[in-house]
Amino acid sequence: MTSPYGSTWTTRASAADNDWNGLTYGDGIFVAVASTGLGNRVMTSPDGIAWASRPSAADNNWTAVAYGNGMFVAVAASGIGDRIMTSPDGITWTLRGNAVDNEWRSVTYGDGTFVAVASTGIGNRVMTSPDGIQWTIQTSAADNWWSAVTYGDGTFVAVAATGTGDRLMTSPDGITWTTQTSAPDMDWRSVTYGDGMFVAVASTGIGNRVMTSPDSVTWTSQASANDNDWHSVTYGNTTFVAVSKTGIGNRVMTSG
């Protein structure tokens, strides 16, 4: 019997031992971005197995990368007016001017719009772009430490590591945002959408480092497989997969 996707993992050699923070897939290629390295803070792979280093547009602290409308877009937490880089193929990258020098933590694409969220800034922790090149600052629902953003079912959803009862915000267009009540006030690190459900994971909590919502508004606390430092979650092939920064031989959990 074949193991379900996400349940069996194999170590692969990275192109460089950088601090890889963001990963996406688009147009037949995987692209990862890093916060460390000298001129090589991008790596690409056609299959997720064999990776090649690529020149990053700048040695910024690249935190996330997304793909949409024929463009890869990466965002950074450092840099002076250049915390965006774009590429049509994942190989050749161009620096772009960001709306403001906040610490941008996550970027996603949905309904013709790139949306990025930040952990710093005063009332301006969101920016949007139709093409990844020209960016417009937007008013965040709260000045929380926004760590991740995703798009699903016609809604952008962002989660935060800080805030009191408001560690979620949602938007139909990336421009107008509304705070939502998070299940518990955990250090929420990642959110994704799949099979009619939003799923978020956290790095803190006791047995409850997962929350779910069918509509992005009403969230329910769920039992995590263990109390690891869960930092990223995604969905594919009927399975939710989360990975963590801590744990001994158990840094992956799956659901589906």
Reported CATH class of domain 20-255 = mainly beta
List, in order, residues 6 or more apart from 226 with CB less than 8 Å away: 247, 250, 253
The pLDDT of residue 186 is 96
What's the Cα-to-Cα distance from 243 to each of 9, 50, 222, rounded to whole Å? 11, 21, 16
Nearest to 178 by CA among 138, 232, 130: 138
Question: What is the C-alpha separation between 166 and 159, in angstroms, rounded?
Answer: 9
pTM: 0.95
Beta bridge partners of 71: 68
Per the CB < 8 A criterion, the answer to whether 122 and 108 are in contact is: no
Task: Convert the pLDDT of each residue in 56-89 to its tens digit.
Answer: 999 999 999 999 999 999 999 999 999 999 999 9
The pLDDT of residue 92 is 98
Question: What is the C-alpha separation between 238 and 54, in angstroms, rounded?
Answer: 32
Question: What is the C-alpha separation between 231 and 209, in angstroms, rounded?
Answer: 10
Residues of the chain with pLDDT under 50: 1
* Amino acid in the structure at residue 70: G
Tokens of 79: 């840099």
The pLDDT of residue 2 is 56
Beta bridge partners of 146: 160
